[in-house]
Structure 1
Amino acid sequence: MNSRSNIFQGVVTSKDEVLRLDRAIVEILDIEISRNVAARLIREGRAKVDGEVVTKPSVMPKKGQTIVLEVPRPSVPEKGSLLEPRVLFEDEYFAILDKPAGLLMHPNTQYGTDPSVASWLESRQATSLPTGQGDERPGIVHRLDRGTSGVCLVAFEKDSFDNLLAQFAERKIRKEYRAVVYGKPRFVSNRIEKRLTSDAKHPGRVCVTDSTRIGTRDAVSDYEVLETFDNFAYLRVEPRTGRKHQIRVHLASEELPILGDPFYRVGKFHPALLPRHCLCPDRPLLHAYSISFQHPFTGEGMSYCVEEPDDMVEIRQFLSQSTSALEGGDSV
C-alpha cells in the first residue's frame, strides 16, 4: 500500500459471506467500481483479507473478516488530456461544458486529489469562483456523477451562479439524458414518481421509499424507449427533479438497471448476456445529452446538446447487430 493510492476497507457480514471477493468488494466497500475492475485489482495483489494478500477474485471471505482494497490514484492529467471538460459555450458569466466519464465534478475525500471540473475551473480562472454548498464546489451549479458523461453548467460570478441555482430550484431548467439499460421495458414511455432517501445499509447510496418522513425527498423521472434489443433497451430520460443518483435508482426500481452500474442493480447480471466480443462497460452507461435554460442576464433561451461518447455508441452497435442476427436467424 502506498501514498499514491486510496485505501478502502469493510467487514464481511453474515449476508455477505456467500459472495466471491470481487463481488464482496463492490457490495461492501463504499466505492464506485465495477466487478470487472475489482477482479483486476485483486489479481494485481491490491486486496487483503485479514491482512493477507489475496490474488484470486473467486475467494469467499468469511463473516467477520476485514477486506482492504488499494485503489491507485490516476495521475493528474496534463492540459489537453482526455480528462478535461470541453467548452461548448462561454461568456463572462458562465460556461456550458461537456464532461467526460471518469472526471469528478468536485474533489472529495474518497478520490483525494483526482482531477475535477472544479479544479480545472480554478486553474483557468483569475478571480475567485462563487460557491453554494461549501468551498470544495467552486462554480459548480449542478452535479453529474463521476461515471456520467455529458453536458453541465458552471458559473464564474455570484449573480449568475445564484440565478442558475434558482432556475434549477424552480424547475425551469430542462435536462435530457440517454441510458442503456438491462431489461425489457413494460411501457413505451412512463413516469416514475418514487420518493428517495439515504440507504442506511450502504453509505453514499440512496434508495426508494414509501415514507414521507423528514429526510425523504420527492423525485420524478420520465422515460421513453428509443430502441429495444434482446434483453436491453436504449432510453431517453428526463428528470423532473434533481436528486442524488435519481435516474440510476428510479430505473433500477423499475427493473431497468443501467448497464455498467456497480451499485443499483436488479438480481444478477452476467457479462455473458452481452453479445460476443462486447465488453461489459466499466461505468454506468448514462449520458447527459442536453440542457435548456435561460441566460442568467439576458433571459435568452439557450439549449445545448452533446452526442454520446464512443463507449455508448459501440455497445449500442453491438446490441443492435446481435438483435438483428437473432431476428434474422441463419438467413443470408
Structure 2
Amino acid sequence: MKKILCKAQLEREYKGMSLLAFLRLQCTDISVKSLKSAIDTKLCTVNGIVERFSTHPLKIGDVVILYQPQTLHPKHLEILYQDEHLLICNKPAMLISDMRSLQPLLKDRWLLGHRLDKETSGALIFVKNKLILQKLIALFKEHSVEKFYLALVDGQVLQEERKIDKPIAKLKNYQGQSLYGVATKPGAKRAVTLWRCLKRSKTASLLLCQPMTGRTHQLRVHLSYMGYPILGDTLYAKHFFCRTSVIRHLLHAYILRFPNPISHQIITVKAKIPEDFKECLKELKMTHAI
C-alpha cells in the first residue's frame, strides 16, 4: 500500500492558494525541491485525482494527499528466463530502461535488447553480446516477437475485442516529454494494435493488448485515441472518469513469446503483476480478471 506523508483539507483561509504553497505550509520538514519533485512524479492527489501542476489553485474543501516515494532501485531484478545468450527480467515501474540504471541490478554484464517506458513494468529482454542483439532486432523486424500487455484503462469498454490500425507520429514536446498521436502527416508510421477486454467495471476496464508494430508510446496513443486512456497516463489524458488514485500509468508487459535467436526453440515468459496494479484491480473488484 502507498504510504501517506501528508493529508490535509483546504480551509477557507487558504482559498485560492497554489498546491505547492499549501504543501509548503503542511509539510515544513520537506524541502521545496522535494515537494516539486513529488508533484511532478504523480505523488500528489487533489480530491483523489493526481495533480502534476504545482501552480494548481485549490478550492475550499479540497483534500490534498502527498504520498511517500517508492524505492526506485530494487536490490535485484526478478529473472523470468536465462540461458548463456539471453536474460529476461521483470522490470519494476519507475525504473528507466537504460544500462546505467539496470546494470547494477544484474550479476553479469548484459546489453539491453529493447526498451519499456519508465512507468511501464514487466518483461524486458537482455542479450549477451552485439551479435545476439542483431539477431533479436531481426526477430522484432520480422514480427516474430509476440508481446502482450495488460492495460487498466479509464471507462467501461463495451466491445469484447478490436483491432486499431492508425498511423502514429511525434506531435510535439510537452513538459520535457515527446508527445505522440494518431496522425496522417508525412513521417507518420503505420501502427497496429489488437486488444481484448478481460474484465470491466462501471468506471474502468482491463485489456489484454498485443502491439503488432513497435511504435513509440503505441498502446498509450491508441488507447487514448479510442477514448479509453490508460489510468494514470497524464501525458495522454487530462481527466479520468475513474476516481481510483494511481501514481503511474498502469501498463504491464505481461507475456513475451519468441524463438530463441540461437536454438530457435520458442521462449514464453509471463511477468508477475506488480503490487500497485493488483491493488487497483482489488479496489475496482476486478481481482479475478486474470
Shared topology, TM-score over 0.5?
yes
In 2, the alpha carbon distance for the partners of 1:321 and 1:303 equals 25
2:72–2:94 contact (8 Å) kept in structure 1: no
* Percent identity for Structure 1 against Structure 2: 28
Q: Work out whether 1:207 is the aligned partner of 2:181.
A: yes
5+ long unaligned stretches in structure 2: 1-17, 21-36, 48-52, 60-68
Give the SS at the match of 1:34: coil
State the 1:167 CA deviation: 0.3
Cross-structure match for 1:319? 284
In 2, the alpha carbon distance for the partners of 1:75 and 1:187 equals 38
In 2, the alpha carbon distance for the partners of 1:119 and 1:287 equals 23
In 2, the alpha carbon distance for the partners of 1:142 and 1:183 equals 31
Match of 2:102 among 117, 130, 133: 117
1:32–1:263 contact (8 Å) kept in structure 2: no
2:171–2:181 contact (8 Å) kept in structure 1: yes
Q: Work out whether 1:268 is the aligned partner of 2:239.
A: yes
In 2, the alpha carbon distance for the partners of 1:196 and 1:102 equals 25
In 2, the alpha carbon distance for the partners of 1:37 and 1:120 equals 31
Whichever residue aligns with residue 297 of structure 1, its letter is I
The alignment's TM-score, normalised by the length of structure 2, stands at: 0.72
CA root-mean-square deviation: 3.2
Whichever residue aligns with residue 206 of structure 1, its letter is Y
1:33–1:262 contact (8 Å) kept in structure 2: no
Within a 5 Å distance, the mapping from 1:268-307 to structure 2 comes to 268-269=239-240, 273-274=242-243, 280-307=245-272
Give the SS at the match of 1:124: coil
**Higher RCO (C-alpha under 8 Å, 6+ residues apart):** 2
Number of matched pairs: 238
Q: 1:232 to 1:37 in 2, by over 3 A?
A: closer
Within a 5 Å distance, the mapping from 1:1-332 to structure 2 comes to 33-34=41-42, 36=44, 57-58=56-57, 77=73, 81=75, 84-106=76-98, 116-121=101-106, 124-125=108-109, 139-202=111-174, 203-211=177-185, 213=186, 215-265=187-237, 268-269=239-240, 273-274=242-243, 280-320=245-285
Cross-structure match for 2:23? none
Q: For each residue in 1:85-112, what CA deviation from the matched residue of structure 2 results, as whole angstroms up to 9, or x when unmatched?
A: 21122122110111111111116xxxxx
1:106–1:119 contact (8 Å) kept in structure 2: no
5+ long unaligned stretches in structure 1: 1-19, 23-28, 40-46, 48-53, 61-72, 108-114, 130-138, 323-332
Q: 1:193 to 1:59 in 2, by over 3 A?
A: same
In 2, the alpha carbon distance for the partners of 1:218 and 1:281 equals 31
- Runs of 4+ aligned residues of structure 1 deviating over 6 Å after TM superposition are 73-76
State the 1:171 CA deviation: 0.5
1:35–1:262 contact (8 Å) kept in structure 2: no
State the 1:210 CA deviation: 2.2
In 1, the alpha carbon distance for the partners of 2:90 and 2:283 equals 25
Q: 1:38 to 1:294 in 2, by over 3 A?
A: farther
In 2, the alpha carbon distance for the partners of 1:146 and 1:319 equals 25
1:94–1:153 contact (8 Å) kept in structure 2: yes
Q: 1:163 to 1:32 in 2, by over 3 A?
A: farther
In 1, the alpha carbon distance for the partners of 2:284 and 2:132 equals 43
1:105–1:118 contact (8 Å) kept in structure 2: no
Whichever residue aligns with residue 190 of structure 2, its letter is D
The alignment's TM-score, normalised by the length of structure 1, stands at: 0.64
